[in-house]
Amino acid sequence: MSIFIKHMSFDYKLILLTIVVLSIGCIQDKKIKVNEGPEIYTTLPVELDTFSSGSYVKINGVVGDNDGVHDVSIKINSSDSTTEYKNVFFDHIHDPLFNIDTSFTAFAKAGSTSTFTVNILAVDMMGYTNSKSISLIVIGDNSK
């Protein structure tokens, strides 16, 4: 092969070099990763689940990320209040999967209906975030 290249004219060498450079330069990495935050999957509660006042509400799910989950924050708000109802924070997880397993007791004023919002925020080891919100309905006891 080297003897063949030595006897080629300069023009052919330039054309061959151009073809090689273009063919190598056009190779694309098909495995380009899009940097996204952790995936959040919840099993409980389900969107618009309805509970009676005083009910024990379980929050279950999984947060996953190939880069590792750094932290998960769960904030629960009620339409009855301007202040945060409950805040749960899990820090320095450093694993690709994290199981969410927490709960709270939901109260509503007698004779009224309250909407609770469960906000889950997850951050991976690279600092990318993702969030999920679930709304619940809590019905106050009419007999009070």
Mean pLDDT of 89-112: 95
Tokens encoding 92: 């320095």
- Predicted pLDDT at 82: 74
> For the residues of the chain, what is the DSSP string, one character each?
-HHHHHTS-HHHHHHHHHHHHHHHHT---TTPPP----EEEEEESPTTEEEETTEEEEEEEEEEEEEEEEEEEEEEEETT-SSEEEEEEE----EEEEEEEEEEEE---TT-EEEEEEEEEEEETTS-EEEEEEEEEEE--TT-
Which residue's entry shows tokens 């991976």?
124
Which residue's entry shows tokens 């509400």?
57
Rounded percentage of the chain residues whose pLDDT exceeds 90? 68
Residue 116 pLDDT grade (very low, low, confident, very high; cuts 50, 70, 90):
very high
pLDDT one-digit tens code per residue, 119-143 = 999 999 999 999 999 999 999 988 7
- 39-139, what's its fold? Immunoglobulin-like (2.60.40)
Find which of 22-36, 55-69, 82-96 is predicted with most confidence, using mean pLDDT. Answer: 55-69
Backbone torsions φ then ψ of 19, nearest 5 degrees:
-65, -45
